[in-house]
Amino acid sequence: CIRDSVIPLLRGGFMFAADLVRYMDVDLQIEFLGAASYGEQTVSSGEVRLTLDTTLPLSGRDVLLVEDIIDTGLTLAYIQNLIKSRNPTSLRTIVLLDKEIRRKVDVEIDRCVFNIPDRFVFGYGLDSPGGFDRNLPNIVALKE
């Protein structure tokens, strides 16, 4: 019985999640959640919108949420609360990039790969203004 669900937060988390699950040696299912708070801006609007929801029930599952970047924490807090309301057995969160200096709300992170300064970054799944450059193989910072 498959009890593990990996949920990349779209759109930015898809590349990191794809690389991550290749190394996971467990039976798992992949679901997707989409949320937006940036629009075409380089800073969060503070308003989180759910743009895509999961299709499978999460009750009784061990869930790993995969996030590309934490900025204010508003989007991640919203998504974590949404998942918790669906009664998973457990919820763990892994984040590729953390801009802790911009945090507005506390969020629980189980694993962070890199802490970064307060710069706008894109590439490797993260988009530049206008929604482009997700396909770049590296993460780069917008010129100041």
- For 105, other C-beta atoms within 10 Å of its C-beta total 11
Torsion over CA of 24, 25, 26 and 27, rounded to 10 degrees?
Answer: 90
- φ, ψ of residue 135 in degrees (nearest 5): -80, -5
> Catalytic residue among 4, 62, 68, 71, which?
71
How far are the Cα atoms of 39, 43, 44, 71, 104 from residue 47, in angstroms, in the given order? 10, 11, 8, 13, 13
Burial class (CB in 10 A: 0-12, 13-18, 19+), 68: buried
Q: What is the CA radius of gyration of the chain?
A: 15
Cα–Cα distance, 28 to 65 (Å, whole number): 13
Q: Is 127 a catalytic residue?
A: no
Active-site residue set: 71
